[in-house]
Amino acid sequence: MNAPSNIAAPIVIDAAFDAGNIEVLSLDGCEARLAIRKDRESEFAQWFYFRVTGAAGRKLTLRITGLEKSAYPQGWPGYRACYSEDREFWARADSAWDKDADGGTLTITCTPKGDIAWFAYFAPYSMEQHHNLVTEAALAEGVSHRVLGHSLEGQPIDCLELGEGDRQVWIYARQHPGETMAEWWMEGALALLTDASDPVARVLRAACRFHLVPNCNPDGSRRGHLRTNYAGVNLNREWAEPSLERSPEVLAIRNAMDATGVHFAMDVHGDEAIPAVFMAGFEGIPSWTPEQGAAYDRYQEILERRTPDFQRKLGYGTTPKGKANLTMSTNQLAERFGASHGCVSMTLEMPFKDNAGLPDAEQGWSPERSRLLARDCLAALAEWLRPGD
């Protein structure tokens, strides 16, 4: 009997799909030499997402090269690539980092059971998933949807609103599109807030008016960017002077915030290098007050008590007063709405690697952990809002 004709055929690697990103430099059987495509009009490169076919029962050796010139080379030591065979459960593949090999190389090894395997920097959240999320949430009782504006490529900036209270709460994610854990977090937040029987949701909807923007950067998300929009602009450096030409996404969101005011804001992100969940605040804004600072600290104290996934030892440190970068949303909002609304704003960071203080050998930090963290963040907000606490 003749052996199957494709037994020695090289694997096939594709990335021409929603959020895909990889360049194939060479193929040899089950081995591949790869590179990450830079964000359009930018030097940022870190996000990858690709499909391997012809993989069943074969040991794959996938070398992503040139990573010493990636956006955050410190993100590769200790990192393990995400992989899935069903695109629902994302595990971690064996991954080895060598900064001296081929300009810095991450070598991923894996033996899939099926013919198709998917690999990504973090579990992807495609624009099709985004539209499913927004559509489902908009059908929930008490939820309204509006388009705040459009991206440079004409995609809508979706905003979901709910709640009857007078506290204006803005939560927004994926200014940096490769930080997909942020939209997994938003999925968890929306699941809680739209649950009519959830007691935390009931308290929050009574006290607050929520404005949730699950994806601030749809163009970068669809294009497989790490950090920028279609024009190569980092949206989280546009909040002081957003423009239609460079950052219509930020302009639309900030204009909507100006119309409602902001009492509490959370900008949801992921960090490449630090293996922990942490917050970044607004300590350096010119108008900082002890009352604002105490309110921010109190929120962190509550969240740390509620979940072992949050900690305050690792993070970015604090900026001296008056030295804050007001082009960043957290600083801009605390400064912009501090006097009028006592605004407390913050940036939530989740790891691309794992939570080193509570590791998960199979998945590392994951969509599941991101969704659970959202529930704890909202429960912490409900406690934080209680008078006299």
Annotated active-site positions, please? 349
- DSSP notation for 258-295: HHH--SEEEEEEEESS--SBEEE--TT-TT--HHHHHH
The amino acid at 160: L
3-state SS class at 184: helix
Query: Which residues share a beta bridge with 95?
Result: 108
Q: Provide the 10 A C-beta neighbour count for residue 351.
A: 25
3-state SS class at 84: strand
- In this structure, are residues 178 and 46 in contact, taking their beta carbons and an 8 Å threshold? yes
3-state SS class at 205: helix
Return d(Cα 236, Cα 225) in angstroms, integer. Answer: 14
The amino acid at 170: W
Return d(Cα 67, Cα 45) in angstroms, integer. Answer: 9
